[in-house]
Structure 1
């Protein structure tokens, strides 16, 4: 149970309760996934996949359909954040304004944390910009002006490299430029997702902020860790990322723990399979069976992760290309039972663990 009552998060005039955020994750946090998270509850603020601002402008100017990453945004419940990335202040401001006026989003978030080469080295965006505080300031300040009164937030990493950690300096820049909140992932860009998130460094950033809230992100894969983050580190909210992809009920578990209530148990394996199939149907409804089946392969692997026989299931589901094949593989190979203890005297090999 939390030692003290956890206050709601305030991002500008927006109140986020509980102060648990779903991270924007490219290729994963689309409208179908967000709906599954809402079904369970517990997430105070959901976010889209990150949107390439320059690509959005091109589609707009050529009267093409807006990016699939904005699927569902216009109609789904609020609050909802859309995360965008680029390195040009004017482009970012233009897209931010469109998101506010046309989509009525609750928050416009700026990605200064993505470590992927395509975004950093090729586009000089994402975490690459941590080495250019002045450009970050220009991007944030112009976006804040364009989006007003909708709040603008920023997500960063500790720095570009372990030898160049500048998150405290960057935090000041973010606040001075007018951002309404700062999210920090506790690794550097060079770390990618290796090692452990440094929550001590995340907590230290709070003393470098005057008025805006600090949101901590990294390695939060249990309700207990979420409670610890609030109790041990000076953060105003937390953001859950990779751990929720196969466990969308994690937000509800964390929210209950913050309220001091018993943590809801994990759904049974059969229930988890059913959640995955509902997720699949939502994707089919949007993209049709062929495209949805391809897209669902990676989600299916997430749902099976850590379960007995997961590797065997992944091997088969990675090859499906039709709805019939998907249903058959799930029916035959998705882990729905806990194996009986193996007799140590048996000459048969123990089943493989994924």
Structure 2
């Protein structure tokens, strides 16, 4: 059953109050300052940077320090950390707090990528109760008054679910909210997420907000998730690829307002061009900005009459001048194409057997070979 008249309550995450209960999910190579600024211009909510590896942050690598930068217009500032060692996570959080680099911190326990899970990281990590509790506890203690949240998957596979135990540990440790991507690691991004797990989590966790993630492609999907699960807010990932205006639709929907953004091709062109400009500013390089905008071409122009030859040329653009020439060849008067421009986008993949360290599932306690493998899992790989 769908509720199309839901008027959401503000979302309180620790000291942060969000008028609209919407969070941009961290996505590697996507949710940099440029994209966050663009989404914020259309809507409201909390916009989280792409995942930062705690070890790289402590080592102050050049790329990591650039990734955690925020434009002055970004308030509140949000950073997601990935870590496998409680001490390193504590050091990373301590650094962020001491240097006043964020107003909100999220911990990633949802990465399903085999090269991470085979070492015990990402979505595999909550299976080890002591390690999970150690990381969350150290982060919360080091953060002080800055709210810390966690994002996780339902488990490793359907026979090894972790989300309920992990959520209780996180609640006891003092996190300010828990977000659940309602898929297991083995499901990757395939099929449809199991929203019933979000409802189950909401029933189990009563002290902090529960946020739902998975298959929110439109404002009506967000309303449906809230209505069906009772969750306190939604986390939006792939649904906003090439559609930063989705956050405007979500804000309107949650405020009970009727307007929706249905862009003609001219509006898409303008937004795409602004995204490219913001990327050039972010990278401090027009060439890098143009290289990065290439990956967004198919998402922005999904459903619009843009021929394959022109799409190919846009996907190899090298300068803003060249980009302008190509965009000028499009008919900006073409109206919004309807359903062809909507629906799923981004990676999906197929279910796969999760790759884990040998003997990982034998115990919920980290020991021996596990302790060696886990430190090799701290890679610059995002997802969840």
Smaller-chain TM-score bracket: 0.7 to 0.9
List runs of 5+ in structure 2 lacking aligned partners: 338-344, 346-384
**Residues 163/327 of structure 1: CA separation in 2 closer, same or farther (3 Å cut):** farther
* Offset of residue 77 of structure 1: 2.7
CA distance in 2, matches of 1:25, 1:70: 14
Residue aligning to 2:349 = none
TM-score by length of 1: 0.87
Partner of 1:28: 30
Measure the CA separation in 1 of the matches of 2:333 and 2:158. 42
Q: TM-score, normalised by structure 2?
A: 0.81
Question: More relative contact order in 1 or in 2 (CA 8 Å, sep 6+)?
Answer: 2
Structure 1 unaligned regions, length at least 5: 341-353
Matched, 1:265 2:267: no
How many angstroms does 1:170 deviate by? Answer: 1.7
Out of 16, 19, 25, the position equivalent to 2:18 is 16
Residue from 165, 170, 181 that aligns with 1:174: 170
* Aligned-partner SS, 1:156: strand
Change (3 A) 1:312 1:65: closer
Alignment of 1:194-205 (within 5 A): 194-205=190-201
In the TM superposition, what are the counterparts of 1:74-93 in structure 2 within 5 Å?
75-93=72-90
Q: Take 1:205 and 1:19, find their aligned partners in 2: how far apart are those partners?
A: 17
Residue 52 of structure 1 is matched in structure 2 by 53
Three-state SS of the structure 1 residue aligned to 2:60 is helix
Q: Is the 8 A contact 1:308 1:339 kept in 2?
A: no
What root-mean-square deviation, in Å, do the aligned CA atoms of Structure 1 and Structure 2 show?
2.3
* Contact preservation (8 Å) 1:109, 1:154: yes
Partner Cα distance (2:153, 2:112) in 1:
9
Separation in 2 of the partners of 1:213 and 1:88?
26
Report the secondary structure of 2:59's partner residue. helix
Q: How many residues align?
A: 335
Alignment of 1:176-215 (within 5 A): 176-215=172-211
Q: 1:258-305 CA distances to partner (integer Å, 9 max, x unpaired)?
A: 222113231221111101101111111232111111111112332122
Q: For structure 1, which segment, 302-311 or 126-135, has the greater mean C-alpha deviation from structure 2 after superposition?
A: 302-311
Tell me if structure 1 keeps the 8 A contact 2:139–2:148. Answer: yes
